[in-house]
Amino acid sequence: MQKRAFFWIIGLLSIAIFSQSCKFRKIERNQDWRVKYEAALQYYEEEDYYKASILFEQILPIVRGLPEGEEVQFYLAYCHYNQGMYLLASHHFQTFYEAYGRSDLVEEARYMYAYSLYADAPGENLDQTSSQEAIVAMQDFLNKYPNSEFSENAGDHIQELQERLERKGYANAYQYYKMKFYTAAVVAFKNFKIEYPDSELVEDADYHKIMAQYQYAQQSIISKQQERFALVKQYYEAFIDRYPDSDYIRTAEKAYENTLDKLAEFAKK
* pLDDT tens figures, 106-136: 999 999 999 999 998 866 555 567 888 999 9
206 and 244 share one domain: yes
Count of domains for the chain = 2
Q: How far apart are CA 85 and CA 241, in angstroms?
A: 50
CB of 150 within 8 A of CB of 141?
yes
Could you report the per-residue pLDDT of 172-219, keeping only the tens digit for each? 999 999 999 999 999 999 999 999 999 999 999 999 999 999 999 999
Rounded to the nearest 5 degrees, what angle is found at the Cα of 103, between the Cα atoms of 97 and 109? 40
Per-residue pLDDT, averaged over 70-95, amounts to 96
CATH number at residue 102: 1.25.40.10
153 and 197 share one domain: no
Q: Which domain holds residue 93?
A: 30-168
Give percent of the chain above pLDDT 90. 77
Q: Which of 168, 193, 218 is the last residue of a domain?
A: 168
100 and 63 share one domain: yes
Stated pTM of the model: 0.75
Q: Which of 168, 194, 213 is the last residue of a domain?
A: 168
Q: Is residue 115 part of a domain?
A: yes
DSSP codes of every residue in 105-152 = THHHHHHHHHHHHHHH---TTS--HHHHHHHHHHHHHHHH-TT-TTHH
Q: How far apart are CA 193 and CA 20, in angstroms?
A: 59
48 and 146 share one domain: yes
Q: How far apart are CA 92 and CA 198, in angstroms?
A: 36
60 and 150 share one domain: yes
Q: Which three-class secondary structure state does DSSP give residue 215? A: helix
